[in-house]
Chain A
Amino acid sequence: EAQVTQNPRYLITVTGKKLTVTCSQNMNHEYMSWYRQDPGLGLRQIYYSMNVEVTDKGDVPEGYKVSRKEKRNFPLILESPSPNQTSLYFCASSFAGYEQYFGPGTRLTVT
């Protein structure tokens, strides 16, 4: 089944404790992206990747890192999480220019 998977789906952590949210797709898509969704602010793009080893900042990259070492995986790294990074995170993938497929979301709470 074609899908985008994210893990974990829910995470509660403390300020400053490094964490990684994984994203994986099985559709051989070149393009992958991370978004955060907050009430009243819509979807905001964090980072995106046009292909392996090619990443670029989105609208809100501060406090986040990404890597794209393999085509199928695009992990999101929070080196030192802070409470303002409490949010719902979505990973998405697509062929370049075509519709994005979204993962189920990761709800992160930083206390």
Chain B
Amino acid sequence: AQSVSQHNHHVILSEAASLELGCNYSYGGTVNLFWYVQYPGQHLQLLLKYFSGDPLVKGIKGFEAEFIKSKFSFNLRKPSVQWSDTAEYFCAVNFYGQNFVFGPGTRLSVLP
């Protein structure tokens, strides 16, 4: 079965620290890749997406992600986090234009 894993369950950072959240998915083939963010008490919102082309994609709020096909990875980065980035982050993969699979999520806490 297709699966998506995220490296960290809970990450705690101070403001201005750099962030990298890992995401790996099973198998290769045609995939579309996504990162979603869920702020406390809210629904999931799209941060960024990758379909094809430049493997470094930029999203909203200063986030970016890099697709490394050989490693089946799609890691999320931000050079300098803010307190307002405190949220849960989900990596998601769409396999072959069919069903979506979500990773288990990473909770990010940013200390002021």
Q: How many contacts between A and B, using CB within 8 angstroms?
A: 50
Query: B103–A42 contact, CB under 8 A?
Result: yes
Query: B105–A42 contact, CB under 8 A?
Result: yes
Query: B90–A97 contact, CB under 8 A?
Result: no
With A50-B98, A99-B34 known as contacts, the answer to whether A105 contacts B103 (CB < 8 A) is no
A14 to B11, CA, bound (A): 38
A50 to B103, CA, bound (A): 21
Type the 1/0 row for B91-103, where 1 means its CB is closer than 8 Å to any CB of A.
0101001111111
Count B-side interface residues using an 8 Å CB cutoff. Answer: 19
Query: B97–A43 contact, CB under 8 A?
Result: no
Type the 1/0 row for A28-40, where 1 means its CB is closer than 8 Å to any CB of B.
0000010100000
The yes or no answer to A96 lying at the interface (CB within 8 A) is yes
Query: A97–B94 contact, CB under 8 A?
Result: yes
Query: A56–B103 contact, CB under 8 A?
Result: no
Query: A43–B90 contact, CB under 8 A?
Result: yes
A48 to B98, CA, bound (A): 10
Residues of A with C-beta under 8 A to B94: 97-98
Residues of A with C-beta under 8 A to B98: 50, 96-97
Chain A contact residues: helix, strand, loop or mixed: strand
Residues of B with C-beta under 8 A to A35: 102
Q: Which residues of B contact A (CB under 8 A)?
A: 32, 34, 43-46, 49, 90, 92, 94, 97-105
**Besides the contacts A43-B102, A98-B94, A102-B44, what 9 more A-B pairs have beta carbons closer than 8 Å?**
A42-B105, A43-B44, A56-B99, A90-B44, A98-B49, A99-B46, A100-B34, A100-B44, A100-B46
7 shortest interchain CB distances as A-B pairs: A97-B97, A42-B104, A42-B105, A102-B43, A102-B44, A43-B102, A99-B46
Return 21 A-B CB contacts under 8 Å, by A number: A33-B99, A41-B104, A42-B103, A42-B104, A45-B99, A58-B99, A90-B43, A90-B44, A92-B44, A96-B98, A97-B32, A97-B94, A98-B32, A99-B34, A99-B46, A99-B49, A100-B34, A100-B46, A102-B44, A102-B45, A104-B43
